[in-house]
Amino acid sequence: MLVSKNWLNDYVNLDGLTDSDLDRILTGLGLEVEGIKTIAPLDDLLVVGEILKADRHPNADTLQICTVSIGGPEPLQIVCGASNARAGIRVVVAQIGSLLPGNFKIKESKIRGEKSFGMLCSESELGISEASEGILELDSTYTVGSKINSVIKTGDSIFEISLTPNRSDCNGVIGIARDLAAKIGKPLLYPKSEAKIAESFLIANPVKVELHPNSGCERFAALYISDIENGPSPRWLQKRLETAGMRPINLIVDITNYVMFEMNQPIHAYDERQVKGKSILVRKGRDAEKLTTIDKKVVDLVSSDIVICDAEGAIGLAGIMGGLNSEVKDDTKNIIIEIASFDPTCVRRTAKRNAFHTEASHRFERGVDIENIVAVADRITDLFILCSKQTGKRHPLISKNVLDVYPKAIKRPRIALRLDRARKILGLFSLTADTCIKHLSALEFKLLDRKDDRLLFEVPLWRVDVTREIDLIEEIARLESFDKIPYRMPVMEIAPLKENPFIRFVDEAKITLASLGMTEVITYPFTSHIDYQNLAITNDHPFHPSVELSNPLVQDHSWMQTTGLIGLLKATERNHRFQRKGARLFEFGKAFHNFSNKEVDFEKFPSFRGINRQPLHFTARAFSEASRPMERHLATFLIDYPFQKKSWAKEELAPSFFDAKQIVDSLLKAFAIKDVTFTRPSSEELPFLHPTASAVLKKDSAVFGWLGELHPKVAHKFGFEITQVPVVCELDLEALFKTASEKAVIESETFEFPHALRDLAFTVDTSTTHGDIINTVQSFKRKKYLESIELFDVFSGEGIPEGKKSMAYSLTFRAPGKTLQDQDVEKELTSFMEWLQTSIGAVKR
């Protein structure tokens, strides 16, 4: 909402308040000032002058040499090109040295051989309006020689107010003025009504109005004005509209707009010639009915639209825009003016459906003052008469009465205010009943009754936002100022609720990954089907997206992600484009699934059975939650190529499966999650990973996630060089959390005694895996001291029989509470080697 300080000043005396005062006061009232545009007053060297004489320029047909008095002893000679320059008129004289808008300085000059000592100004030269036909003619009562600034107010400040949707009343300048007046303790000055209209200008109102029941129109007033000389409106009115950001059109339209801005009541004028039968019917739209609006848009009407009709059909889309067929034209003489109140919801729905957002619909959606309608009609009448006088036009003929159809009068709400409640809510115990009454009365809330500290108020209908006691309390706080409310700390004796430990787990997991050298990023969780195609994820895969947006920002963002991989791959691809390689990125996000929308054959994807579940941390109880999408907490990370950058000391290394595995192991260790197995997925399950360099992480039946080298074809699709493929991993945080919820046990006793280390090398079949060896440790029945084994070498070839490989492990033996003796260790080592031989046919080397 743009509002001019000069305009506000019409209704509340703002003398002595600077722009920054007003800024502070308005913002303090909740009418946030977002910006102030100052229009500088004109230069003081611009004065009122009188043309004493206007002679033809001897050397130019279109120029005149004017002798102009500006009150001094000697008149000035000024060469002027305007055809309306003539003796006897008062004009604006820019003296030598004065500065005009646009930084245009007036200098003494010679025009076609004749000296000129200044300039006679047009409106455009003064920056008043765009009209530049001739010089500006001033009122003949202005004193010659006086400064222009003293006779017409040339400076102004336009406040841009960011109105919150509750303050519909402040869509009118008077509404803002009312708040200001209440705050600064000055009276609100309503526009003065013109003197009574002479009988000779009064005519009968020929208009008929009918409102269909349930038409959505709560009140309709029709004013009839005829014999109008349409044309440009007076300059002051045009200027006002311009301050509000509106373009002047013609007298009729400008007056309706002016009153709308002033009183927050949209008004529509119909050309009487086009209103068949001079009759107006307000009803709901009909099937297959069409209306072309003033902006030439064809609207297909539906039964929730409110339509203004004449005897033959639709002539306006109520509350939004008039019809093209009844539009006021430059030659319009007789008009029917609609001042009405329409159902906000109907207007809003119609406007939304047809993508209209007009000054009228904006106001009707938020609410107008239904009581104000007759006052608005009077104001319109006054302005038509005033403008006709000011522009020297014919006095229009005004209908004697306003035809006011108001089937069911709406009563002002009555709301009781309890002083102790206000004090309690605000924490402002010094608040008195008198203060409450003072503030609310200033806003024209009427005190009806007062019993002890219970005050009963009647609320004016322009305050559609005030419906409960709490709203009265807010008004008091607003006018009293929030600054007067003290700072206090809440006294809360209750014990805090138990926090879901998952929340801390997530934070700790983040810190753990970051401390492992990973960098956290956040990417958009919006994806497209193409992304999944690029990941080779088929329609029946559980990762195929199932939560779709109906209004995505761009088409590529239509589906909510089911994996954090897409975001990380895109971010990494972008990094590559910017020559930033080798990053280790991670993101904590969510996967969105809706398995009630989507049939997934989990037999085909057994590893992902567990993702079809209720969200872990959230159980809503409000109502049926069956169709709620499932949100799965994910930790996804990516180790980009190269893992090790080439340097003076080291060779470049590509990231490997095991680099990702190391991160996973460290994370698992941080949460004391043991005995996690890495198993090979079926080819359908993880189609986006290298088929033999990928794994699913499991513990018992729980699946924690997956990791592996990106499939080279997928890498290629995402724009990577296929020799520079990242390694990726995704973990299901809730599954991890379920296992991690047992606290890690910190052993301290065993660390007081040294452990014993032994190396053991043996050959096994090539097909034997490290996992098989780990299993033999677990099944080693005579295990007493063997704590852990660690692989440090695998090789085959020279010296190793065909079909065999050598594996070398470092074994740690530890006994709680004692130092191990050599013979104990040797005995267990021999026995373990025997066990390896028996169980997997290992041969000691």
Partner 1 sequence: MTTIMERANALLIEFEQNATSMEKVTPETVEELRIHWLGKKGIVTRLFEDMRHVPNEEKRDAGKSMNVLKTSIEASLEVLKSKAADSVFHSILNRAPLDITLPSQKDTLKGALHPITLMQQKLLKEFRQHGFTVYDGPETDFDFYNFTALNLPADHPARDMQDTFHLKTNQDIMVLRTQTSNIQIHAMLQEKPPLRIVAPGRVYRVDSDQTHTPIFHQIEGLVVDKKISFADLKGMIQSMLHSIYGASAKTRFRPSYFPFVEPGAEVDMQCTHCQGEGCKICKNTGWLEIGGCGMVHPNVFEAVSYDSEEYTGFAFGFGLDRMAMLNWQLPDLRQLFEGDADFQSQFSVFAEGAPC
Residues of span 496-555 touching partner 1 by CB under 8 A:
496-500, 502-504, 507, 510-511, 513-526, 547-553
Among 101, 206, 629, 691, binds partner 1 (CB under 8 A): 629
Residue type for 833, please?
Answer: M
Q: Residue 164 interacts with partner 1 (CB under 8 A)?
A: yes
Q: Output the 3-class SS for 710-762.
A: ECHHHHHHCCCCCCCCCEEEEEEHHHHHHHHCCCCCCCCHHHHCCCEEEEEEE
* Least distance (Å) between residue 329 CB and partner 1: 33
Quick one: 20 or 143, whose CB is closer to partner 1? Answer: 20
Q: Residue 621 interacts with partner 1 (CB under 8 A)?
A: yes
Q: Residue 643 interacts with partner 1 (CB under 8 A)?
A: yes
x/- track of binding to partner 1 for residues 12-31 (CB under 8 A)? ---------------xxxx-
Residue 667: CA atoms inside 13 Å, Cβ hemisphere, count?
A: 35
> Residues touching partner 1: how many (CB under 8 A)?
110
Alpha carbon 238 to its chain centroid, in Å, reads: 33
Quick one: 118 or 564, whose CB is closer to partner 1? Answer: 564
Structure tokens at 439: 């503030």
**SS3 assignment, position 394:** coil
Quick one: 110 or 498, whose CB is closer to partner 1? Answer: 498
Quick one: 233 or 561, whose CB is closer to partner 1? Answer: 561
Residues 523, 560: contact at Cβ < 8 Å? no
Quick one: 72 or 165, whose CB is closer to partner 1? Answer: 165
Site for partner 1 in 457-476 (CB under 8 A): 468, 470-471, 473-474
* Least distance (Å) between residue 737 CB and partner 1: 12
User: Containing H/E element for 422?
Assistant: helix 419-426
Residue type for 372, please?
Answer: N
Among 40, 107, 312, 482, binds partner 1 (CB under 8 A): 482
Long-range contacts for 832-837 (Cβ within 8 Å, ≥24 apart)? Answer: 832/760, 832/780, 832/782, 832/783, 832/786, 833/760, 833/762, 835/776, 835/780, 835/781, 835/782, 836/762, 836/773, 836/776
* Least distance (Å) between residue 28 CB and partner 1: 6
Contact residues for 668 (Cβ-Cβ < 8 A; gap 6+): 674, 676, 736
Residues 87, 52: contact at Cβ < 8 Å? yes
The Cα 617–Cα 634 span in angstroms is: 14
* Least distance (Å) between residue 200 CB and partner 1: 46
x/- track of binding to partner 1 for residues 322-361 (CB under 8 A)? ----------------------xx--xx------------
Contact residues for 667 (Cβ-Cβ < 8 A; gap 6+): 509, 512, 513, 516, 731
* Least distance (Å) between residue 613 CB and partner 1: 14
Q: Residue 319 interacts with partner 1 (CB under 8 A)?
A: no
- Among 625, 595, 589, 627, which residue's Cα sits nearest to residue 608? 595
Site for partner 1 in 177-236 (CB under 8 A): none
* Least distance (Å) between residue 826 CB and partner 1: 22
The Cα 80–Cα 119 span in angstroms is: 7
Q: Residue 167 interacts with partner 1 (CB under 8 A)?
A: yes
The Cα 777–Cα 799 span in angstroms is: 26
Quick one: 268 or 366, whose CB is closer to partner 1? Answer: 366
Q: Residue 590 interacts with partner 1 (CB under 8 A)?
A: yes
The Cα 26–Cα 157 span in angstroms is: 14
Contact residues for 599 (Cβ-Cβ < 8 A; gap 6+): 540
- Among 196, 195, 204, which residue's Cα sits nearest to residue 397? 204
Structure tokens at 811: 């074994």
Dihedral angle computed from the Cα positions of residues 472, 17, 244 and 173, in that order, rounded to the nearest 10 degrees: 30
* Least distance (Å) between residue 518 CB and partner 1: 5
Q: Residue 577 interacts with partner 1 (CB under 8 A)?
A: no
Contact residues for 688 (Cβ-Cβ < 8 A; gap 6+): 535, 536, 537, 565, 710, 711, 714
- Residue carrying structure tokens 């007003």: 22
* Least distance (Å) between residue 424 CB and partner 1: 6
* Least distance (Å) between residue 512 CB and partner 1: 9
* Least distance (Å) between residue 12 CB and partner 1: 19
Q: Output the 3-class SS for 145-182.
A: CCEHHHHCCCCEEEEEEECCCCCHHHHCHHHHHHHHHH
Among 105, 580, 770, 782, binds partner 1 (CB under 8 A): 580
Quick one: 647 or 767, whose CB is closer to partner 1? Answer: 647
Quick one: 402 or 473, whose CB is closer to partner 1? Answer: 473
Site for partner 1 in 230-269 (CB under 8 A): none
Contact residues for 784 (Cβ-Cβ < 8 A; gap 6+): 815, 824, 828
Quick one: 497 or 745, whose CB is closer to partner 1? Answer: 497
Site for partner 1 in 412-431 (CB under 8 A): 424-428
| Of 247-255, 370-378, 643-651, 715-723: span binding partner 1 (CB under 8 A) | 643-651
Quick one: 522 or 530, whose CB is closer to partner 1? Answer: 522
* Least distance (Å) between residue 637 CB and partner 1: 11
Quick one: 541 or 633, whose CB is closer to partner 1? Answer: 633
Q: Residue 365 interacts with partner 1 (CB under 8 A)?
A: yes
* Least distance (Å) between residue 643 CB and partner 1: 8
Q: Residue 556 interacts with partner 1 (CB under 8 A)?
A: no
* Least distance (Å) between residue 500 CB and partner 1: 7
* Least distance (Å) between residue 701 CB and partner 1: 26
Site for partner 1 in 78-107 (CB under 8 A): none
Residues 659, 727: contact at Cβ < 8 Å? yes
